[in-house]
Amino acid sequence: MYNQLAMLAMKDKPWLVLFGLLAALSCLPSPSDAAYPYYGTKIGALTRLHHGVSGDVYAVDSRTIFIKKFSYDGEAPAAYFYVGNTARPSNEGATRLRDERGGTASLTRRYRNKDITLSLPEGKTLRDIKWFSVWCDEFAVNFGDVAIPASLDFPRPQKISALRGVHGVSSENIVIVDAQTLLVPNFSYDGEAPDAKFWVGRGQRPTSEGLRIPDENGKENPLRRYERKTIVLTLPEDLTIFDIGHFGVWCEAFTVDFGHVRLPEGLNVPPSLKMLGISPQSKLNCEVLYDDLAFEVRWAVAGESIVVQLVAKLEPNNYMSFGISPNKNISQMIGADAVVAWVDPETGNGFAQDYFLEGKAQCSGSRGACPDTKIMEKTNSIRLLNAAMVNGYSIVTYQRSLAATDRLDLPISVTDAESVVWAIGPLNDYKEVSFHTFYNKHLHQIEFGRQPKWNCPLPEGAKPGSSSDEQEEAAPQAQSSTGGKGYPPAGHPNLEPEEEFYENRAEALHRQQPQRRQETAIITQRRPVPTPKPVNSNGAWDIPAIQCHEPEDGVFYAQMGPTGGKHGYPAITGHVGWGISWYINGLLIPEIHVVRGKTYTFVVEGGNNPDIPAKYHPFYISDDPVGGYEHKREEEKKAVRIFAGVHRSRSGQVTPTGVGRLCNWTPDVEGPPADDYQSFGAYQRTLTLKCDAGEPGVISWKPDRNTPDTVYYHCFTHRYLGWKIHVHDSCEGDVGGQGAASEQHEIRLPAAAAEPAPVHEDYAAEPSIRHETQMASALLRLSRRAF
């Protein structure tokens, strides 16, 4: 807002007014040019000395001056606004003010009865100055001034009583932020009454003759349950606190008072921005991060902290994140200090969590993209102020210190541009981030300490400035301004070969062709995509199961690959993945059927470098449908039975053995995103297998009578990368079901793989031949099953 902030800082709540303004943005009607009779405390009229200077000067709050009907002919060469504490106006030892737009240039344009608002610089209040003047530097001439009396009682936010009533209605002391804004800290209400509303009216007690006012989301629906939630309420239209005598919660259907407070008469509070004819946007910063989802970041610096509001139109169970890059010259995810925010659409509860992006893998223990509190205790530096779901838009407001408060934080500069990072993606079952769907691929910098500038779309009917000519001049700038160095178009996930994650989107796929290394084993299938088999009713691809009679040698190849977008892992399993999944014999998380008493071999190529969690996926089999055994709590581990892929020492320590080099099934960079394929077969034929140098790991497993009918293959260090294994007593018929027959497609194979290769004792001896044979088998199986 303007400068009630300084007063609230004295009460250890420097965020209240700013929070109020940010929250009000989501629900305020568009500002109009309607004039109100209250502009604050009148200081006096400007003396009319030269160049047509005139106007009435008001104190809006401790650091804000409002001039009603300001006039100046604009013909002087070096005129500026000045304040000072000398006996008479002069630029000697005085402070030059920025103009109403935040500019520092001289006043060269004409003002004709314009209403303008000016702010004193940080650290100064009206108590520190004796006069305000329009002064010409070049000729040292005072064009007009007004004296500021030492006894001036400028407006400021006022605390009144707290709510106490029935149905659990309570709050801390309410703050009258300005003449149209009430801030209700830690408001509670049990939500059990059928028609409770926020209520105001004349007189000292509520009656049915009162008026309902919108809730913090701008709605007049019956109030839901609140539990110590800080909310901001805005009086509608031209109603002000001077028109009412009480505020409270009222059951309209049964005319019952649930609790109210009296509003003292004669409160000396600031006028609202709307009363001054100013749009709230003109006092805040805003930048568009990703226009397709209306993702915006809004902020204002509040003393030693910053208040930030994130707004986006998110899919259910998605998050939005915004943070500071560790490198001021590039927008770098790894090492970034980010906030992950979302709103639960069912409960309306909001969340803002402090994250440290140690790596690009999902959070495993304290590695990967983790909340700070999973890495170190008591390191959450984010204070959630408010959250709301308004017309499908998630709105989360939070506060953090400009300085770094622990080793996982990065400071925010108010003097230099900061490189920032942002992302949008799904939350997993643990309400932690999964790999992002959208993010900024290129440099994006923001000057957090700049003069307020609203570089986002304005609400319908809103105006960027306080006068028509300002609106005309500002409009082109608002359309073209970037608000920072290198403001880029939004990007989609990068699919370069060293990246492990593949939430495939068309823009990213067309960015660049990955380099192919000599040691990479490649299986390529290039042909037009055939008419696919439709997806299942739940949107999932029909992945053919691996039957208990195939492969005949009982050898399975386990590698990594993309989750397949919305038709893949999440639709098949009902869980949110991390952008990567296990591929067994070239198939995305197939259900595997095995027989008790037969020995099976898994050739594992999920990565062998534990220092890089994104490239380390030990394979194991257990009765746990989640996976990620290494990072489970001790009581959770006790409930898990592991059947293959680990070594257990005498002391009980469990070490993964299903470890080998990393092989990734990589999407075609020239192809469409995974979501565009109606069958996995069509999508699978666009993938290329790329392997690091090294040897695969090998584990053997012989299910027996003690093995449950259903077990799971997963990653030892990450959750939700695998799927089911069905264990049978015998292999009679097609246990897993067989898809309908269809036209077969020719599969071109390397000459070395034209005939099935023999089974070797050491499966690492000829890895490329084994890959080619097994993947050809998978492709043929797919073509038989109408993909």
pLDDT in tens, 399-409: 899 999 999 99
Give the Cα-Cα-Cα angle 445, 449, 453 (nearest 5 degrees).
Answer: 80
Q: Stretch 612-641: mean pLDDT, rounded? A: 90
Q: Would the pLDDT of 491 be above 50? A: no
Across 237-266, b (16+ Cβ under 10 Å) vs e yields eeebbeebbbbbbbbbeeebbbbbbebeee
Query: What H or E segment, with its residue span, contains residue 203?
Result: none
554 conformational bin, left if phi > 0, alpha if psi -120 to 50, beta if neither: left
Q: Would the pLDDT of 740 be above 80? A: no
pLDDT at 713: 96
Closest C-alpha to 434, from 286, 578, 320: 578
Query: What H or E segment, with its residue span, contains residue 687?
Result: none
Q: Would the pLDDT of 715 be above 90? A: yes
DSSP code at position 782: H
Chain segment 558-600, per-residue pLDDT in tens: 999 999 888 899 889 988 777 789 999 999 999 999 999 999 9
Query: What H or E segment, with its residue span, contains residue 177?
Result: strand 175-178
Chain segment 89-106, per-residue pLDDT in tens: 999 999 999 898 878 899
Inter-CA distances, 78 with 108, 137, 301, Å: 8, 6, 30
Tell me the domain boundaries of the chain: 41-147, 158-274, 286-447, 555-728
Q: Which residues pair with 310 in a beta bridge?
A: 297, 396
Q: Stretch 654-665: mean pLDDT, rounded? A: 93
Q: Would the pLDDT of 303 be above 60? A: yes
pLDDT at 17: 38
Q: Would the pLDDT of 730 be above 80? A: yes
pLDDT at 576: 79
Q: Which residues pair with 593 in a beta bridge?
A: 726
Inter-CA distances, 219 with 27, 197, 213, 389, 422, Å: 8, 10, 8, 11, 30
Q: What is the rounded CA–CA span in Å between residue 623 and residue 707?
A: 9
Closest C-alpha to 750, from 768, 767, 732: 768
Closest C-alpha to 435, from 334, 580, 549: 580
Give the Cα-Cα-Cα angle 1, 298, 293 (nearest 5 degrees).
Answer: 145
Closest C-alpha to 247, from 206, 288, 298, 294: 206
Q: Stretch 496-512: mean pLDDT, rounded? A: 32
Chain segment 417-475, per-residue pLDDT in tens: 999 999 999 988 888 888 888 999 899 999 998 888 888 887 554 554 444 444 444 43
Q: Are 710 and 676 in contact (CB under 8 A)?
A: no
pLDDT at 281: 66
Chain segment 555-566, per-residue pLDDT in tens: 999 999 999 888
Secondary structure of residue 574 in the 3-state scheme: coil
Let me know if the fold of 286-447 is the same as that of 555-728: yes
pLDDT at 664: 92
Q: DSSP secondary structure string, 371-426?
A: EHHHHSTT----EEEEEEEETTEEEEEEEEESS--STT-----SSS-EEEEEEEEE
Q: Are 59 and 40 in contact (CB under 8 A)?
A: yes
Q: How many CA atoms lie within 13 A of 662 on its CB side?
A: 20
Chain segment 277-287, per-residue pLDDT in tens: 877 666 788 99
pLDDT at 736: 52
Secondary structure of residue 680 in the 3-state scheme: helix
Secondary structure of residue 598 in the 3-state scheme: coil
Q: Stretch 676-694: mean pLDDT, rounded? A: 88
What confidence tier does 537 reach under pLDDT thresholds 50, 70, 90? Answer: low
Q: Stretch 681-689: mean pLDDT, rounded? A: 87
Q: Stretch 478-499: mean pLDDT, rounded? A: 35
- Using alpha carbons only, how large is the chain's radius of gyration in Å? 33
Q: What's the topology of domain 555-728?
A: Immunoglobulin-like (2.60.40)
Answering whether pTM is above 0.75, one says: no
Q: What's the topology of domain 286-447?
A: Immunoglobulin-like (2.60.40)
Mean pLDDT, all residues of the chain: 79
Task: For residue 178, count other CB atoms closer than 10 A to its CB.
Answer: 33
